[in-house]
Structure formats: C-alpha cells, structure tokens
Amino acid sequence: MFLDENTGIIAGDVSTMSNNRYQLLKTEDGGNTWIEVYSDPFNYVHQLYFFNEDIGFAVGPRVMYDNMMLRTMDGGTTWQECSMPQNTRSLNSTLFLDENTGFCVGTHGQILSSLDGGENWEIQYQSACRADKINDAQIIGDSVVFLATTGYGGGVTSGSIYKSTDFGNSWQNVVSSGSFYSICFLSPQLGFALSSYGNAVISKTSDGGATWTDYDIENYDFEPSCIYFINDQVGFVGGVTNKGTIYKTTDGGETWSLNYTAPLNSPLVDIVFTDDTTGFAVGLESNVGVFLKTTNQGATWTPVSLDFYFLASKICFVNSDTGFIIGQGNMILKTTDGGSTWQQKTTPISGYAEFLDIDFPTNQVGYVTLGENEVMLLKTIDGGETWDPIEFPCTSTPTRVDFFNAEEGLVMGNKGIIFKTYSGGLVGIPEFPDDIGDKPQLLSYPNPAKEILHIELPSSQSPIRMVVFYDSQGKMIRKVSTHGNKNILAVDVSRWQNGVYFFVSTEHGEIHGSGRFVKLD
C-alpha cells in the first residue's frame, strides 16, 4: 500500500532451500527502490493498515502458533509487536476510530479491541463455534439444537459436536474427535454422531451429550457420509467403498453389518425414513440422480432412476407422500406420491447452482441453502411449488438450515457462522423505538407472567403481523409472527430470564401498539 505518491509499504515472503522469511519492504521513491524494514521467519502479514502517515499496523497469523500484530509510529521505518491475547483464530483486518480506539476482526466472528493506540488488545467477541464448517444440524424438541462440525488445525482434521439448550442463543462444545459429518437425535438425551478418523466411528450419547461411547465400522475402505436411526436399536450409515454402501445396526449402534451395496460409483449422501419400515436414500450413477427406497426396514432396497442429471445432496420428506430432493445443477425435485414420480420445480436462480440443505418446519413453509459463493437462501410458503430468494447478511456461505417453526430458525455455514432469524428471514424490522411510551398500549396477561403470556392485538386485515420483544436495555430478543386475523397471541416465556420486557406490534414495518410485562418465576 502507498501512503502518498512516493512512500509505500509492501508485505511478502522470500523462500530459499534453507529457510523462509516474511518481510515488510518500504519505498520512498515511488517504488523504484525498496529496503527491508522488517523480517521474521514466523510472522506472516495478512493486512496493512495506516491510521495516518505515521501510525500503521500489520496483522496476520504467526505460523503454527497464533496471531500477531505489528505497529509502526514512524511511517513504517521501524515495527514492534503489540500485546495480543492467545488465540488461534485468524485475524484479517484492522480499523481505528481515532489514535486510541481500534478494532481488529477475524474468522469465526472474532472481534478484538484496543483503547491505547494498539499497544494492547482484548477479545471483545468470538463465536462459540470454532469449526471451519458446520456439516449437520438438528433441532430436538422446542429449544435443544445439536451441530456436527469439521475443524482444521496443525495439519490434522478434527471436529466437534456443539449443543444449545436455549434456541441457539448460546453453545457448548460437548465432544471433540475426528471430523463429524452427520448426527441423528431421537430425543434431547439419545443421539448418534458419525465421524471418521481412519475408519467410520459412530458415537452414542444417552445423557444429552454429557458422555459418549464410540463404536466402529470395521472397514477402512468405507468413507461415511450420513447416519439415520429409526429407533433406539435400528439405524443406518450411508457412504461409499468403491460403490454406494449402507451399513445397518439392530443393537443400538454397538455392531454394524453390510446392509446394501448400491449400483453407484459415488456415495449415498443422505438417508431418511418416514416411518418404521419406509425409507429413502439418494446418490449418483453416471451423472444421473438415483433414488433408493425400502419398505421393509432396509431388508431390501430398490433403486429407481430419477431421470435427472445431477448429484443429489439432501432428501427431505414433509410427510409420507410429500418429499424433496435437492442437489447440484439448480435442482429441486418434489414428489407427492411417496417417491413414485418426481417433478422439477423452478427456482429464481439463473445458471448453475448447488443446493446444500433443506428444511420444512411446516407443510407449507420451507427453506433451502445454496452452495459456494452464494449468499442467499430460498424460501417457499406454498409447499415447495414456488421459491423466492432471501438475502443472507453475511459473506460466508450458508450451508445448513434448521427451523424451530415457520419464522424462528438457524442458518449456519462455513467458518462456524451461526445466524438466527425470528421473522422467517424477513428484514426491515424496527429497532427499539425511543417513543415506545407514545404508542397505543396493548393488554397483556397474566402480568407478571411465568410460563405463557397472552397479548391482545387490535383487529387488522393484514395477513401477517409481527410482535417484537425487547429487554429492559432495549435489546431485541425475539420476533413472533401472527397470521390472519388472530387477535390474541400466546407466547411461551417460561425460559426467559426474570425481568421487565417491552413489546411492539408491527405491520409492514410500522408500529401500531406497544406494551410491557414482567417475567417472574
């Protein structure tokens, strides 16, 4: 970067047969000549930033260690290391508001701040999920969520299972091991996780993730991709050896036997069951999507060509008749006869697109995430007949989606990003209004509330209204949509912390009423 027409700083590295060094070079004659002003074998400079002609910073990773930041007070002639907190997450960019106050941001939502001109830094925020990729997610019951993730560090792949018990607002790492690809929970207590560390490993928990027991599939040529359990005894793992392969257990995951070898040269990427006996799996053969079906709990599987040229990624059934398959090539297929026939649905995406995940919290409302370099989702409100785009407020690709209900859900993706929506992905929801006391007051009862709060809303012809809740500090904590002419809204506040809360009723982004209540156990 150049500070003026003559003075510039450049970062790079010089490699030889014997060593490697990272350097900062400076020019004062418009780039005709350069002199070395800093050199180190471990400190790699990712970004240069100058607050003014004298004060500047260089930030980047320390090879095989953590992060580092350099500061110059003389226009880049000399550089000194700043005091940084121990952290292995990459730092990417620096910005100063004034000579004292600065911020540095990095991967996994990391934010560092300095109040002394960059001499010392503190962590202000970082995501609880330290994964490079979130591979699978599952909501259990009303508020419990589990994530399966893959990480990468020190040249070795690793992974973790994360758990949330408060609708995804906070997360706990409950187990770390090899790369976790897929999870299947039958209850908040009983679940299974599929990982790989040389061979396929099935981890089982019976206490909500507090403890885990590992069981192996003794086939080192088998590459697993998905897991599904019908009940606490019968489960399936799909993947590939040299053909698409399914393993089955009938003793709760303790032992596994080869169940089916499909006529596929690629993995079976997803397995689902609609009842105890009827199940489905998807894969690829000669670039044609292949759909497998069993009606006898996997005793036999029947392959059926889908007659569409694409690689499937997910299969989802809303009920025993209605299901969807998504995948590469801008492909969304729908069946209404239990998989006997499939129809391709039109999407608003032009050209080639890869769809990664699909979730239907209701029979009519569904969401789809898109592949690499796409920063949007697709949403349907008519059972998958038509799909509309939803802008995603992040540059990281959203890969997984899971919703508690039609409006409240989680969107997750690369670098461990987790976003939550209370409005079905809609934007334009008002922040806490300064004039909330001037709005028409709405009746809420009981007040104080312990479990269920009822709010009486004014009559309206609007098909969709929204009630937005704020805590006593003005922070928005939840949005609840109401459909039709429903005039009494019931909200479960049993898990909320004790305190005073405010709420407003909105239509098309305009506030039409307000109120407050006390949550008290």
Whole-number pLDDT of residue 275: 94
Instruction: Assess contact for 168 and 145: CB atoms under 8 A.
Output: yes
Print burial letters for 198-214: b (CB count within 10 Å at least 16), e (below 16).
ebbbbbbbeebbeebee
Query: What confidence tens digit (pLDDT) does each residue in 437-470 have?
Result: 566 788 899 988 999 999 988 776 554 567 888 8
Please state which architecture CATH assigns to domain 8-125. 6 Propeller (2.120)
SS3 243: coil
Mean pLDDT over all residues of the chain? 83
pLDDT of 209 > 80? The answer is yes
Query: What confidence tens digit (pLDDT) does each residue in 355-386 have?
Result: 999 999 999 999 999 876 566 789 999 999 99
State how far the Cα of 148 lies from the Cα of 162, in Å rounded to an integer: 7
Whole-number pLDDT of residue 387: 92
State how far the Cα of 13 lies from the Cα of 23, in Å rounded to an integer: 6
3-state SS, 67-122, equals EEEEEECCCCCCCEECECCCCCCCEEEEEECCCCCEEEEEHHHCEEEECCCCCECE
Residue given tokens 């510039």 in the structure block:
8
Of 3.40.1280.10, 2.60.40.3080, 2.160.10.10, 3.40.50.300, which CATH number belongs to 436-519? 2.60.40.3080
Confidence of residue 428 (pLDDT cuts 50, 70, 90): very low
Query: What confidence tens digit (pLDDT) does each residue in 33-66 have?
Result: 999 998 888 777 878 989 999 999 988 877 655 7
- Mean pLDDT value of segment 71-79: 93
